[in-house]
């Protein structure tokens, strides 16, 4: 039986893989595990619960709230807000637990549950493992110990969350955005209201696309996984830059004035140099993953910034940042963590800080992003394979070794099972795009053959 928790919570097709019964059970299990760990000692526990606009989030939220309240946890429902907003509110309101219902960049039929510990930090792996163990125990029939009478949790709407979060975002900016025109692609997701409001309050002229969620259109041909609409809108409106979020707005990609993509590596480059200049880049270090483009590593070396690389997943970036006391980290996909102002990746904050750097320097985003040159990188997602066997397959290992010999010092190969989807990612970098495509295609075929 596979582990329920992936690199970003529990995720699957809503009402098939992720049911109301599972959402309720996991919430009760989380309450019991945190109580056992002493998190609730000496006080009545409180949880913050939010969601993205997916239709399935409505019934899953109801199940989570019911589970928590039945376990004696008071619940503050904050409604549709970004994942980082739920994390922020969990911290600032002194809550014992935060719960976000979202499948991030995944298509609409999917949904997920993500838990935050006190302070708005992601739960430790061992706590997730304990929650899963307790959930499975009780799913097999063992009854829960449930409070009655005044011991049951109470449920309240917390409508102030939107304004409190937006005010926080604007307050932490180093400078205003007056004079900038920004296009925002909200992915018809959780940032559809938050991001335009924050940019406007910070002084930018805002143009919006994909900011009318109806529960069914989240990530549908828009957002950080589909930049075509943003590129066109930036050029059409003569904007200085464009910002694209994913469904739960914990990530951000950008587009320059000419419609060219600015990915997470480039965003990290721009922010790292700005923070170094301001003296806020602690340890003179930025933390990224092994998926970062080789050009990012070369740029940081040239600019005198240390680069630490972790396994793929923003949780591993965050762990390394906390361990070393670093202030900036992130992923090529646009998860950027600025630990002085957020406990998790925050797409709206990232976009605001990027725009603030453009405003402060008077330089275009294209000019700022040119600090790094992206080497050709080809990524192929190989579906319908047994991703658990990637590390143990001798055939795959031999194919990778051969590819690495062919690329030599001018490129690299990375194979990894997705933490959130049933597939294996094959990534190849090379000085020449055609070589990268050829090697990646050959490796993908071998993975399909060996693991299919």
- Residues forming the active site: 104
- Long-range contacts of the stretch 317-326 (C-beta < 8 A, 24+): 317/287, 317/288, 317/289, 318/121, 318/122, 318/343, 318/344, 320/287, 321/287, 324/283, 324/285, 324/287, 325/282, 325/283, 326/282, 326/283, 326/285, 326/286, 326/287
What is the token pair recorded at 381? 């997602």
Confirm if 84 and 114 have CB atoms less than 8 A apart.
Answer: no
Q: Exposed, middle or buried by CB within 10 Å (0-12, 13-18, 19+), for 379?
A: middle
CB atoms within 10 A of CB 384: 10
Pairing type for strands 423-429 and 377-383 reads antiparallel
Indicate the helix (H) or strand (E) that contains 185: strand 181-185
C-alpha–C-alpha distance, residues 301 and 284, integer Å: 11
Give the CA distances from residue 338 to residues 263, 352, 354, in Å, rounded to whole numbers and listed in that order. 16, 12, 12
Give the CA distances from residue 110 to residues 8, 23, 54, 77, 101, in Å, rounded to whole numbers and listed in that order. 13, 14, 9, 21, 10
- 314 among the known binding-site residues? no
Confirm if 182 and 239 have CB atoms less than 8 A apart.
Answer: yes
- 250 among the known binding-site residues? yes
- 214 among the known binding-site residues? no
Residue 413, SS3 per DSSP: strand
Residue 51, SS3 per DSSP: strand
Confirm if 427 and 378 have CB atoms less than 8 A apart.
Answer: yes
Give the CA distances from residue 169 to residues 36, 163, 201, 262, 350, in Å, rounded to whole numbers and listed in that order. 35, 10, 10, 22, 10
For helices 264-278 and 294-302, angle between their N-to-C axes, nearest 10 degrees? 20
C-alpha–C-alpha distance, residues 158 and 20, integer Å: 23
- 263 among the known binding-site residues? no
Annotated binding-site positions: 104, 246, 248, 250
Question: Binding site for Mg(2+): what residues are annotated?
Answer: 104, 246, 248, 250
């Amino acid at each position: 039986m596979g582990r329920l928790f992936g690199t970003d919570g529990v995720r699957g097709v809503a009402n098939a893989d992720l049911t109301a019964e599972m959402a309720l059970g996991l919430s009760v299990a989380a309450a019991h595990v945190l109580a056992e760990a002493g998190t609730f000692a000496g006080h009545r526990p409180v949880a913050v619960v939010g969601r993205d606009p997916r239709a399935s989030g409505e019934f899953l939220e109801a199940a989570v709230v019911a589970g928590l309240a039945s376990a004696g946890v008071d619940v503050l429902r904050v409604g549709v807000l970004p994942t980082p907003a739920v994390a922020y509110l969990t911290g600032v309101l002194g809550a014992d637990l935060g719960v976000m219902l979202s499948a991030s960049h995944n298509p609409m039929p999917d949904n997920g549950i993500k838990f935050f510990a006190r302070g708005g930090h992601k739960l430790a792996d061992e706590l997730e493992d304990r929650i899963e163990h307790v959930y499975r125990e009780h799913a097999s029939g063992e009854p829960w110990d449930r409070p009655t009478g005044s011991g049951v949790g109470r449920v309240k709407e917390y409508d102030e969350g939107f304004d409190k979060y937006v005010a926080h975002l604007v307050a932490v900016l180093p400078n205003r955005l007056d004079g900038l025109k920004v296009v925002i692609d909200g992915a018809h997701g959780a940032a559809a209201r938050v991001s335009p409001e924050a940019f406007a309050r910070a002084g930018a002229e805002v143009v919006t696309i994909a900011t009318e969620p109806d529960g069914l259109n989240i990530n549908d041909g828009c957002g950080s996984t589909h930049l075509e609409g943003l590129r066109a809108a930036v050029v059409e409106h003569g904007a200085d830059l464009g910002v694209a979020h994913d469904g739960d707005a914990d990530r951000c990609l950008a587009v320059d004035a000419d419609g060219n993509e600015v990915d997470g590596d480039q965003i990290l480059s721009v922010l790292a140099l700005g923070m170094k200049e301001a003296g806020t880049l602690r340890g003179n270090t930025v933390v990224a993953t092994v998926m970062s483009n080789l050009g990012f590593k070369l740029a940081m070396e040239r600019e005198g910034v240390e680069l630490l690389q972790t396994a793929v997943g923003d949780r591993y970036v965050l762990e390394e940042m906390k361990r070393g006391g670093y202030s900036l980290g992130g992923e090529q996909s646009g998860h950027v963590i600025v630990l002085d102002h957020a406990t998790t990746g925050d797409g709206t904050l990232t976009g605001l800080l990027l725009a603030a750097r453009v405003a402060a320097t008077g330089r275009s985003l294209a000019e700022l992003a040119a600090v790094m040159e992206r080497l050709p990188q080809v990524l192929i997602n190989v579906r319908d394979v047994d991703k658990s066997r990637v590390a143990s397959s001798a055939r795959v290992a031999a194919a990778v070794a051969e590819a690495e010999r062919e690329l030599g010092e001018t490129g690299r190969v990375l194979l990894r099972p997705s933490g959130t989807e049933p597939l294996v990612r094959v990534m190849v970098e090379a000085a020449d795009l055609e070589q990268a495509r050829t090697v990646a295609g050959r490796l993908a075929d071998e993975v399909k053959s060996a693991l299919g």
